[in-house]
Structure 1
Amino acid sequence: MKEILLVCNEGMSTGFLCNKMNELAKKQGLAIHAWAIPESALEGRYHEADVIMVGPQIGYLLDSIRTRTQGTVPVAAIRPVDFGRVNALAVIEHALSLIS
């Protein structure tokens, strides 16, 4: 099971996307689990993830998040168009492409 962590300001805007990602994964038999947290909770949780996807509204924090996670997990921004359209498949594919 691959763990995809979505991070945003409060963990709420990404929560809806997580639900869609998990619904899609279940329907398609994908071994992934998506979950969302606020950026402020990152230190205590990032080690549980295989990849971290950052909401576009805090994309300016990408370098900071990479530094805080010390390169232990891939970190990337969710593409604004995928986020806006709640394109769960595109976000899953992007996340999985980052996991080695």
Structure 2
Amino acid sequence: MKSILLVCNEGMSTGFLCNKINAAAKARGIAVTAWAIPESALEGRYQEADVILVGPQIAYLTASIQQRVNHSRPVEAINPVHFGRINADAILDRALALITAPLQ
């Protein structure tokens, strides 16, 4: 099972998106779980994730988050258009691509 962590300012705006990502993965028969936390809770939880996606509202923190997780897993800001349209399939596809890509 792959784990996708969505991080945003308070963890609320990404909660709905997580439900959509989980439903999209289930419909496609992919073993994935997506979950959301506020950025302030990152240190205690990031080890559970295979990839970290950052909400567009805090995309400016992406580099800082990469440092905070010691570049131990992929970290990327969510495409704001996909986020705004709640395009769970596109976000899921990007997360899966990041999980399988070599770390940089």
TM range (shorter): over 0.9
Q: Any gaps of 5 or more consecutive residues in structure 1? A: none
| Identical aligned residues as a percent | 68
Query: How far does the alpha carbon of each residue in 1:53-99 deviate from its partner, in whole angstroms, 9 at most, with x for none?
Result: 00000000011100000011100010000000000000000111111
Q: Any gaps of 5 or more consecutive residues in structure 2? A: none
* In structure 2, C-alpha distance between the alignment counterparts of 1:68 and 1:54, rounded to whole Å: 13
Partner of 1:19: 19
Tell me the CA shift for residue 27 of structure 1: 1.5
* In structure 2, C-alpha distance between the alignment counterparts of 1:77 and 1:93, rounded to whole Å: 14
Tell me the CA shift for residue 21 of structure 1: 0.6
Partner of 2:77: 77
* In structure 1, C-alpha distance between the alignment counterparts of 2:53 and 2:75, rounded to whole Å: 6
TM-score of the aligned structures, taking structure 2 as reference length? 0.94
Is 1:8–2:8 an aligned residue pair? yes
User: Which consecutive segments of 4 or more residues in structure 1 shift more than 4 A?
Assistant: none
* In structure 1, C-alpha distance between the alignment counterparts of 2:61 and 2:10, rounded to whole Å: 14
* In structure 2, C-alpha distance between the alignment counterparts of 1:54 and 1:80, rounded to whole Å: 10
Question: In the comparison of the two structures, how many residue pairs are matched?
Answer: 100
* In structure 1, C-alpha distance between the alignment counterparts of 2:4 and 2:69, rounded to whole Å: 15
* In structure 2, C-alpha distance between the alignment counterparts of 1:99 and 1:13, rounded to whole Å: 23
TM-score of the aligned structures, taking structure 1 as reference length? 0.98
